[in-house]
Each structure stands twice: as C-alpha cells, then as structure tokens.
Amino acid sequence: MKNPLRLPESALSPIQSHVAEFGQLSAESGGFFVGATDSPVITSIMFANGLGIERKHGGFAVSAKAIDVLFGWVENQGARVWAQFHSHPTDAFLSAIDIKYGFSVEGFTSAVIPRFSSPPRDSNQWGWWRYEGKSWQRITGPAIVRNQIVSVYTFGEDGVL
C-alpha cells in the first residue's frame, strides 16, 4: 500500500538527531508530523519533550494532557496531525503496546524508526503503517520533497516551543 505522506528532506536530519540523542541514553523517543488539513505534505515536526513525556528502554509515552496541548496548538494553526513516529532499540515493527495504545484512527499513519542509538536517516528504512479497515496495514515510505523547509517544535504538558 502506498504512503500518502510527503516528507520534506529537511525533516530527516532533525529526526535522526533527536532519535539518536535519546537512543544513546537507551530510551525511545518520538513525535508527530503536522501539515495543512487538505494536504499530506508535512510542514512541521513536533518532538515530544517536556512535562508528560515518558521515555525508557522499551517504552515511550505521551500523557493525555500533552496530547491535548499538541492537538489544541495544531488546531489553532489551522493544521492537522497526519502521523506519529517513535523509535525502537532494534527493528522497525509495531509492538503489542503500539497496537494496543497507539492512535488506531482510520487513515492515521504511524512510523517506527529502528536502531535508536544509530538510526537510519533514510525514511524508507523506517517501518510505516496506516490504520485502515480497523487494523494496521504496512505501507511504503513517504515520497521525499526536496527544497522545502520544515518547522521544528517541541511539545509537552507545558506547551509548544
């Protein structure tokens, strides 16, 4: 199945650096991809960082309050959360926890970045899934958009920076 997202090339290095920073501490990390409501071109990366963010080996969680802050900010921008991403220590797969507690919303995309201490920059080496027909379906990596700047933010219960 084809991935509808279009990811700016400028997003790849910040994501790789963020994942590696926490991966070298043996902790999972992640964030969300945001774009216009009517276009799957990603314009912002929202890294989960701050109050309400839990990281550990084998786990990454974002509190309901931090999610509320994120989605409220995105709505105020007239934008949409298109997908989420997080890292794993070894392989790119949806774990039982990812399936049970992830955003199982029709049309939502989830990416898993493998080898968190030294993650690949190439998004085709990440695992990509889309929630379709009440289950997660494996999809291809997104098309890469060249010459587009992506905005980078962090969020947590304490706001968006």
User: At 48, which amino acid appears?
Assistant: A
Residue 136 has pLDDT above 90, yes or no: yes
Q: Is 23 helix (H, G, I), strand (E, B) or coil?
A: helix
Percent of all residues in the chain with a pLDDT value above 70, rounded to a whole number = 100
What residues does 88 pair with on adjacent strands?
Answer: none
**Other beta carbons less than 10 A from residue 116's beta carbon:** 26
Could you identify the residue written with the tokens 């786990």? 59
Residue 76 has pLDDT above 90, yes or no: yes
Residue 147 pLDDT level (bands cut at 50, 70, 90): very high
Which tens digits make up the pLDDT trace of 10-21? 999 999 999 999
- Give CA–CA dist 30/39, Å, rounded: 22
CB 150 within 8 A of CB 31: no
Residues found in the chain: 161
Residue 8 pLDDT level (bands cut at 50, 70, 90): very high
What residues does 136 pair with on adjacent strands?
Answer: 131
- Give CA–CA dist 146/151, Å, rounded: 14
* pLDDT attached to residue 39: 95
* pLDDT attached to residue 14: 98
CB 46 within 8 A of CB 154: yes
Residue 70 has pLDDT above 90, yes or no: yes
Closest by CA to 143, choosing from 71, 39, 36, is 39
Domains belonging to the chain, first-starting first, are 6-160 (3.40.140.10)
- Give CA–CA dist 83/160, Å, rounded: 17
Mean pLDDT of all residues belonging to the chain:
96
Query: Residue 131 has what DSSP assignment?
Result: E
* pLDDT attached to residue 56: 85
* DSSP-based helix, strand, coil % in the chain, nearest 5: 25, 40, 40
* pLDDT attached to residue 57: 81
Residue 145 has pLDDT above 90, yes or no: yes
As a whole number, mean pLDDT of residues 102-111 equals 95
As a whole number, mean pLDDT of residues 54-73 equals 94
Read off the pTM.
Answer: 0.96
